[in-house]
Structure 1
Amino acid sequence: MNQILEIIYSHLCNEENYRLITIEKTEPTSISSYEYEEFRKDVKERLKIKLKTGLCSEFLINQLAIHKANLGEKYSDKIEFYNVSEILNLIEKIENDKLVGLPYNKEPLKGYLHIHHNTYSGFGASLVRNVKEYWFKNGVIRPHRVEEFEEILNQHSNGKLSTVAIMMHQKAVFNRNLRGEWLIYRIVDSKKYYLCLASHREGVDRVKSDENIFVNKISKCLLEFSELK
């Protein structure tokens, strides 16, 4: 059993690295200021429909315009391409109280909420990472997943490693607790303020990532929404 797990874990790690879009894998692209403003206008028009009482920061509008233009956004040494329609629909659901984000519990992001989006970002890299994290922690199968894994082995005793890997993939996906990147927002006096898109890749660890998100993104939004300070 352990040998099978080691092979599958190694395969998932390799797949994740292969599917990540790094700067080296992309070619520089650009658009004119006129085209960029047209994308911003499109995002703003769509937000008029999605928002009820909430407000969207200029920082987030700029991010959405970049993704609408399919330019990609740099996170550390990786490039992410997000589905703008998906994010706008997510905002609409939050506005209608159909979805609620999770609160950050530690400074400097305490008081803000985040919700996951874009499970399939990075042409599948995020999905592979989710499958890996569903089953493993630090390269070892999670204790509460052992029984689940043994059931897969018993049900598919033909010995084909590919069959076991596929079933592990399906189990993780059907769990529907997949995580992509974050939309960060805050609620003050019952009004929702949508601030920015962020990623766990914005620092060497979670603590540094949170600090970078606050300094590089949230602090700029606070200049626009002084009531959030």
Structure 2
Amino acid sequence: MELDPSVMAGFGVSEHDIQSFTELNAGLAGIDTSRLSKFLLVQLTSAWKHRTINTFAITDVIQQLEGRGPNRSSTAKPRPFKHEPLRGLWKVHFFDPRFLMHNISNQWGLPGPESDKFDKLCAHVAAEENENPSTVGWQGRLAHELVIEGYQDRAAKRKLTGEWLIFGVQEQKNVYLALCTHSDGPEQDSEIYNALLSLCGEEFPEVFATVAGGE
């Protein structure tokens, strides 16, 4: 299967770019790239060429899933999708610095008014500053607790989140399909499934034959 040239054009890459990335990128050393979809290689090549994401954040995850090298991941373990139409596929998070603020926001419950974590953090900082004033003031102490301590705590608990690398299993081996943003519900699950089927279905039909949406 050959990808529609418009897909490559949309990501701003050429066949030559993809070949260069695949052959020269150290992150793919020892990896059977025939088990990476052509679409995933387009995504990775685009990220590498346009410097939008550190591709080692993804290739390190692939290396770990292939059992190559130690697992130093600070994200959650790979999990299967539980609900149709994606049931039968797997997801694993990868982390990139551009996701830092989202993780800090989640750590302190900033997305919604129902959490009092940030209020408790501010009260803690104020109490610490009154008892033992710091050279950087309450602002510096709050910034450190909010960002540095928040990040370290989340990483230690393997709660760092980013985007998904979606993969399937074929002949007891992983087949890596695509990078994807998180789904917000069943409607987006269907959109993700339809996109994966369109972009990767002909290339890996056995994977999609076992997926709930393909039954």
Normalised by the length of structure 1, the TM-score is 0.65
For the pair 1:107 / 2:80, whether they are aligned, the reply is no
Distance 1:145 1:192 in 2: 40
Give 5+ residue unaligned stretches, structure 1: 1-27, 73-80
For the pair 1:227 / 2:200, whether they are aligned, the reply is no
Q: CA deviation at 1:139?
A: 2.8
Equivalent in the alignment of 1:173:
151
* Kept after mapping to 2: 8 A contact 1:116/1:181: yes
* Kept after mapping to 2: 8 A contact 1:40/1:62: no
Equivalent in the alignment of 2:109:
136
Distance 1:218 1:91 in 2: 21
- 1:139–1:166 distance in 2 versus 1, CA, 3 Å: farther
- 1:34–1:191 distance in 2 versus 1, CA, 3 Å: closer
- 1:224–1:29 distance in 2 versus 1, CA, 3 Å: closer
Map 1:1-229; keep pairs closer than 5 Å: 33=14, 35-42=16-23, 47=28, 49-51=30-32, 55-70=35-50, 81-96=52-67, 98=71, 100-121=77-98, 126-136=99-109, 138-140=111-113, 142=115, 150-157=123-130, 160-175=138-153, 176=155, 177-200=159-182, 205-228=184-207, 229=209
Equivalent in the alignment of 2:213:
none
Identity %: 23
- Displacement over 6 Å in runs of 4+: none
Give 5+ residue unaligned stretches, structure 2: 1-9, 210-215
Amino acid at match of 2:142: V
Aligned positions, number: 184
- 1:50–1:187 distance in 2 versus 1, CA, 3 Å: same
Structure with the bigger percentage of strand: 1
RMSD: 3.3
Q: CA deviation at 1:104?
A: 1.7
- 1:187–1:137 distance in 2 versus 1, CA, 3 Å: farther
- Tell me, what secondary structure is at the counterpart of 1:89? helix
Q: Deviations over 1:85-123 (max 9, x none)?
A: 2211210101108474122222221222111113313xx
Q: CA deviation at 1:150?
A: 4.4
Normalised by the length of structure 2, the TM-score is 0.69
- Tell me, what secondary structure is at the counterpart of 1:49? coil
Q: CA deviation at 1:181?
A: 1.1
